[in-house]
Amino acid sequence: MISLASDLVSGNAIKTKKKKLAGFRLQEQRLGYLFILPFAVGFLIFHATPALISFVISVTNMRFLSNTADLKFIGLQNFIEMFRDQEVMAALGRSFLYSALYVPIIVLLGLLMAVLINCRIYARGILRTSLFMPYISNMVAIAIIWSVILDYKDGPVNQLLRALGCENPPLWLMGEHTALPTIVLIAAWQGVGLYMVTYLAALQNVPKELYEAATLDGAGAFKRFVHITVPLISPTTFFLIITAIIGSFQNFGIIQVLTKGGPGEASTTMAISVYKASFEQYRMGYATAQAMVLFAIILVFTVIQWKGQRKWVTYD
Amino acid sequence: MKRFPAAKSLAAVLAALMMVGPAAGCQQKQAPSSAQPASQQPSSQQAAPQEKVKLKYAISAKNAAEAGQQNMIKSINETAKNFEIEEYVIPGEVSDFEQKVMVSLMAGDEMDFLYTNDSNVPKYAKANVILPLDDLAKADQFDIQSTFGDSIKKVSNRTYMLPCTRDVHITIYNKSLFDKAGVPYPDNATWTWDKYVEAAKKITDAKGGIYGSYMLDWDTYFTFSAKQKGVSAYKEDGTSNFNDPAWAESMKFFADLGNVLKVQPDIVTYETKKLQWDGFMSGKYGMIVIGSWALAMLEDQKTYPRDWKAGIAVMPAVEAGKKVALSIMGGYSACATTKHKDETFQAIKLLALNEWKIPGAGRVPAAVNLSDADALSAMESMSKSLSFDGITAQQLKDCILSPDIKLVNEKVVGDGMTTINDDIVKEGELYASGQRTLDQTMKELKQKADKAISDDAKK
């Protein structure tokens, strides 16, 4: 009797314990949802809903937001027109060119700077801070400074080039063929601080014992870098490449401040083209179609990167 | 176990704070004002009667700070019985201001009226951001046509702007530099572009940093001689007319002033040195051809202190004896988002008819039913504020209001105009900086203009 009772009691106790655990997990889940609720609401209101509205606008002939009297659904006409529009296709080409230049420069430069800063050098802290400063600087201030530095007639860069014997130094931001690469360099200069700091954190997380073991096995600095450092920081590299690609397509601010898409159309990328179609030509439907295509391109790149990471990203 | 209720409460409070926090950060729509205009003096507002409706006047920060503007608003507020004008400052100047106003109005920002010009009105009317005024004028028994005549530009047979000011391109010159170079002052009867270049060459001293001429990188400068010749930017079939040689000649003439004749900073210098629109006031340039609105620079000795005197002449002519000047009509339009249509119409009517009488406002009247005495009186008001330079009312009348001067629109107005005016600058800069030949430039401009026209025509 006593054993039966005690069995009953212990069985009940186990059930009660399980119930309490389940209740606790449910509470935890509810708490979790409660914490992500503000973000989810904000995301729905400020990202998902405008994206959906943009898609709807892109399949209409909307011109002015304030005049919808002639508004009608036109299907994919905006997209078809866009792919036939030489100016827009040229802008798309320039966007790809910008990205192709910007991503390798900023990722490699960031890694190089992080490797150098990671060494024991004098005034490392001050160097790190000063290399990060452009990242937090105001875009307009950056534009003014670089306009002075790259001044065709009196700027220090061209003065140096003339002193070295170059009779016709480049026009830099005013040159039809030099404007876009110059903007890429300025943008990379401005953004490299963040990449350097991110890589620095990754480098400092690589276990020192691996370097010691490799040194004992006779590996030189280059081999240690290639076979230990690069694989172990590959998750960071993956993250930074995706960020750089996304950031390279969202280049409206820096181009608008430096050249406004000029000279001519030399630095008009898709972001500038969307702006012009919206706020200069007042063709909202056409502009949002371009924005949708830009979004799709960035998404495709991100998916390709995500799928491809298995081949080259090393996780612990 | 006892910790859970406390943790739960804390979590709930934090979550609530995170949700409420962003909402608390949002503010009510309010005027993005910068400078506080002198007209908004607390002591003068306290006694304002309750029934006076406050009308928001969309204006740029720079214009809001001008003494003439402030005088104008103060004068109107003292006269008006049922409304009071408040400046509603929109950031940005010129084209940036126009763009921001357009976007704000499309977004539904409440404004009552704005100052605009006849080249912007078609765009604003198409976007439904300004109101047609014909019904309001009829209700007020105000005859727009007989008051303003040809100054009115209708859109789809409706009036959207009450014109108040006529802006005419003139030559402003630095008398000290003319005296130093021994060059006689321009004579309105014989002033041509050839004489302009001749004078500019004599004044230019590149080593001393002095140029005889100063021009800006605006679309008007690349195209002024073609417009003065009366060559339209549109053909009869609706396509662009930039393959007419007059446009190429105009482009070349402007570029040559800097690159070949070297009488003004070339476009590369202008852009890389970020030279400003008011650079003429530095005293280093002999002449500038610019709209008469720029006479406000001469009036403003505080912003532009100087010891040299200025003179004015008509815009140089392409052909001797045929005076043609670029012009634009400015005026007031009622915003579609106004909640006080009647009061707004009263305000813009008052401004359109009387602004030129206000001291320091510096505007030339657009009304056609002005007598000669009234026209001279308008110039006298401006002349008083230009007393430092000794510019007389008659001189102003001869340069701005003379019936001998044929006026042509300074902008390309028509389908695709915003893009076309923009492309003129872009293509012009590429040509003037030596990166394109003239033929390539005009071919590109024609192609782009044709595309802009057909894009604008799409519905």
Q: Please give the residue that has the higher pLDDT: either B79 or B184.
A: B184
Gap from B444 CA to chain A (nearest CA, Å): 10
Cα dist from B49 to A140, B46, B54, B77, whole Å? 45, 9, 11, 12
For residue B15, the chain A residues in CB contact (below 8 A) are: 34-35, 37-38
Answer whether B19 sits within 8 Å of A41, measured CB to CB: yes
Angle at B151 between CA B148 and CA B154, to 5 degrees: 100
What distance in Å separates the CA atoms of residue B410 and residue B166, rounded to the nearest whole number? 12
Give the nearest partner residue to A38 out of B18, B418, B429, using CB atoms: B18
Nearest CA in chain B to A276: B419
Helix or strand (DSSP H, E) at A27:
helix A2-43
Answer whether B127 sits within 8 Å of A66, measured CB to CB: yes
State which amino acid sits at residue A236. Answer: T
**Residue A61 Cα to chain centre, angstroms:** 31
Nearest CA in chain A to B429: A263
Given this model, what pLDDT does residue A9 score? 61
Q: Does B207 touch chain A (CB under 8 A)?
A: no
Answer whether A42 sits within 8 Å of B268, measured CB to CB: no
Arithmetic mean of pLDDT, A76-104: 95
Please count the other Cβ atoms lying within 10 Å of the Cβ belonging to residue B114.
27
Instruction: Tell which residue, B227, B272, B268, has the closest CA to residue B420.
Output: B227
What distance in Å separates the CA atoms of residue B197 and residue B260, rounded to the nearest whole number? 12
For residue B14, the chain A residues in CB contact (below 8 A) are: 35
For residue A31, the chain B residues in CB contact (below 8 A) are: 8, 11
In percent, how much of chain B has pLDDT > 70? 86
Arithmetic mean of pLDDT, B182-193: 96
Enumerate chain A positions whose Cβ falls within 8 A of a Cβ in B.
27, 31, 34-35, 37-38, 41-42, 61, 63-67, 69-70, 87, 144, 147, 150-155, 171, 173-176, 262-265, 276, 279-283
> Does the pLDDT of residue B243 top 90, yes or no?
yes
Supply B136's token pair: 């309001």
What distance in Å separates the CA atoms of residue A2 and residue B376, rounded to the nearest whole number? 121
pLDDT confidence bin for B47, thresholds 50/70/90: very low
Q: Which long-range contacts (CB under 8 A, 24 or more apart) does B154-159 make?
A: B155/B121, B155/B122, B155/B125, B155/B126, B156/B125, B158/B125, B158/B132, B158/B133, B158/B134, B159/B132, B159/B133, B159/B134
Which residues fall within 8 angstroms of residue A195, CB to CB, at 6 or more apart? Answer: A106, A107, A109, A110, A111, A113, A114, A240, A244
pLDDT confidence bin for B101, thresholds 50/70/90: very high
Supply B319's token pair: 């052909």
Q: Which residue has the tokens 């357009």?
A: B102
Given this model, what pLDDT does residue A7 score? 58
What distance in Å separates the CA atoms of residue B54 and residue B344, rounded to the nearest whole number? 10
Gap from B306 CA to chain A (nearest CA, Å): 27
Answer whether B11 sits within 8 Å of A31, measured CB to CB: yes
What confidence tens digit (pLDDT) does each residue in A172-202 have?
Answer: 999 999 999 999 999 999 999 999 999 999 9
Gap from B25 CA to chain A (nearest CA, Å): 13
pLDDT confidence bin for B32, thresholds 50/70/90: very low
Put simply, the chain B residues between 327 and 386 with a CB less than 8 A from any chain A CB are 336
Which residues fall within 8 angstroms of residue A171, CB to CB, at 6 or more apart? Answer: A152, A178, B268, B433, B435
Arithmetic mean of pLDDT, B415-441: 93
Q: Does B99 touch chain A (CB under 8 A)?
A: yes
Prediction ipTM score: 0.79
Q: Are A157 and A75 in contact (CB under 8 A)?
A: no
For residue A63, the chain B residues in CB contact (below 8 A) are: 126-127
Taking the CA atoms of B70, B73, B79 and B83 in sequence, report the sign of the dihedral they define.
negative
Nearest CA in chain A to B20: A38
Answer whether B12 sits within 8 Å of A34, measured CB to CB: yes
Please count the other Cβ atoms lying within 10 Å of the Cβ belonging to residue B322.
14
Gap from B426 CA to chain A (nearest CA, Å): 5
Instruction: Tell which residue, B458, B104, B336, has the closest CA to residue A62.
Output: B458
Bin B191: left if φ > 0, else alpha if -120 < ψ < 50, else beta: beta
Supply A100's token pair: 């192709």
Cα dist from A259 to A168, A179, A252, A255, B98, whole Å? 21, 8, 11, 6, 20
Supply A302's token pair: 């991100």
Report the CATH fold assignment for B168-327+404-457: D-Maltodextrin-Binding Protein; domain 2 (3.40.190)
What distance in Å separates the CA atoms of residue B113 and residue B116, rounded to the nearest whole number? 9
Which residues fall within 8 angstroms of residue A257, CB to CB, at 6 or more apart? Answer: A139, A140, A142, A143
Please provide the average confidence, as pLDDT, over all residues in chain B. 86
For residue B444, the chain A residues in CB contact (below 8 A) are: 264
DSSP label of B318: S
What distance in Å separates the CA atoms of residue B191 and residue B186, rounded to the nearest whole number? 6
Q: Are B311 and B391 in contact (CB under 8 A)?
A: yes
Residues of chain B with CATH 3.40.190.10: 52-167+328-382, 168-327+404-457
Give the nearest partner residue to B418 out of A70, A173, A281, using CB atoms: A281
Gap from A277 CA to chain B (nearest CA, Å): 10
Given this model, what pLDDT does residue A14 score? 76
What confidence tens digit (pLDDT) does each residue in A239-252 have?
Answer: 999 999 999 999 99
The radius of gyration of chain A from alpha carbons, rounded to an integer in Å, stands at 28
Put simply, the chain B residues between 417 and 446 with a CB less than 8 A from any chain A CB are 418-419, 422, 426-427, 429-430, 433, 435-436, 444
In this prediction the pTM is 0.82
Is residue A156 exposed (0-12), middle (13-18) or buried (19+ Cβ within 10 Å)? exposed
Given this model, what pLDDT does residue B388 score? 92
Q: Does B394 touch chain A (CB under 8 A)?
A: no
- Secondary structure class of B442 (helix, strand, coil): helix
Instruction: Tell which residue, B244, B251, B254, B217, has the closest CA to residue B446.
Output: B244
Give the nearest partner residue to B15 out of A27, A35, A282, using CB atoms: A35
What distance in Å separates the CA atoms of residue B110 and residue B108, rounded to the nearest whole number? 6
Answer whether A155 sits within 8 Å of B272, measured CB to CB: yes
Q: Are B429 and A257 in contact (CB under 8 A)?
A: no
Name the pairing type of β-strands B113-117 and B285-291. Answer: unpaired
Answer whether A280 sits within 8 Å of B418, measured CB to CB: yes
- Which of A36, A39, A66 is the best residue to mutate to test the B interface, defined by the most B CB atoms within 10 Å of its own CB? A66
For residue B19, the chain A residues in CB contact (below 8 A) are: 37-38, 41
Angle at B97 between CA B95 and CA B102, to 5 degrees: 95
For residue B431, the chain A residues in CB contact (below 8 A) are: none
For residue A35, the chain B residues in CB contact (below 8 A) are: 11, 14-15
Per-residue b or e along B38-73, where b marks 16 or more CB atoms closer than 10 Å to that residue's CB: ebbeeeeeeeeeeeebebbbbbbbebbbbbbbbbbb
Gap from B22 CA to chain A (nearest CA, Å): 9
User: Would you tell me the crossing angle of helices A124-132 and A179-204 to the nearest 10 degrees?
Assistant: 140
Answer whether B419 sits within 8 Å of A35, measured CB to CB: no
- Which of A27, A30, A34, A81 is the best residue to mutate to test the B interface, defined by the most B CB atoms within 10 Å of its own CB? A34
Q: Which long-range contacts (CB under 8 A, 24 or more apart) does A32-39 make?
A: A34/B11, A34/B12, A34/B15, A35/B11, A35/B14, A35/B15, A37/B15, A37/B19, A38/B15, A38/B18, A38/B19, A38/B22
Instruction: Tell which residue, B243, B249, B229, has the closest CA to residue B408.
Output: B229
DSSP label of B361: -
Supply A295's token pair: 């979004």
> Does the pLDDT of residue A86 top 70, yes or no?
yes
Answer whether B459 sits within 8 Å of A31, measured CB to CB: no
Gap from A66 CA to chain B (nearest CA, Å): 5
Answer whether B429 sits within 8 Å of A61, measured CB to CB: no
Q: Does B274 touch chain A (CB under 8 A)?
A: yes
Lowest mean pLDDT among A10-19, B134-143, B264-273: A10-19
Q: Please give the residue that has the higher pLDDT: either A57 or B42.
A: A57
Report how many helices (DSSP H) and strands (DSSP E) chain A contains, helices first: 15, 0
Which residues fall within 8 angstroms of residue B411, CB to CB, at 6 or more apart? Answer: B119, B219, B220, B328, B417, B421
- Select the CATH number that applies to the domain covering B52-167+328-382 from these four: 3.40.190.10, 3.40.50.1220, 3.40.50.800, 3.30.930.10: 3.40.190.10
Answer whether A279 sits within 8 Å of B273, measured CB to CB: no
Please provide the average confidence, as pLDDT, over all residues in chain A. 90
Bin B391: left if φ > 0, else alpha if -120 < ψ < 50, else beta: beta
Supply B117's token pair: 């010009």
For residue A42, the chain B residues in CB contact (below 8 A) are: 22
For residue B103, the chain A residues in CB contact (below 8 A) are: 279
Answer whether A279 sits within 8 Å of B22, measured CB to CB: no
> Does the pLDDT of residue A206 top 70, yes or no?
yes
Q: Are B240 and B234 in contact (CB under 8 A)?
A: yes
Q: Are B459 and B126 in contact (CB under 8 A)?
A: no
Across-strand partners of B201? none
Across-strand partners of B330? B117, B165
Answer whether B419 sits within 8 Å of A281, measured CB to CB: yes
The radius of gyration of chain B from alpha carbons, rounded to an integer in Å, stands at 25
DSSP label of B312: E
Answer whether A67 sits within 8 Å of B12, measured CB to CB: no
Arithmetic mean of pLDDT, B308-337: 93
What confidence tens digit (pLDDT) does each residue in B195-223 have?
Answer: 999 999 999 998 999 999 999 999 999 99
Gap from A252 CA to chain B (nearest CA, Å): 16
**Residue B451 Cα to chain centre, angstroms:** 27
For residue B433, the chain A residues in CB contact (below 8 A) are: 171, 174, 263
Between chain A and chain B, how many beta carbons pairs sit less than 8 Å apart? Answer: 102
Q: Please give the residue that has the higher pLDDT: either A77 or B381.
A: A77
Give the nearest partner residue to A66 out of B4, B129, B274, using CB atoms: B129
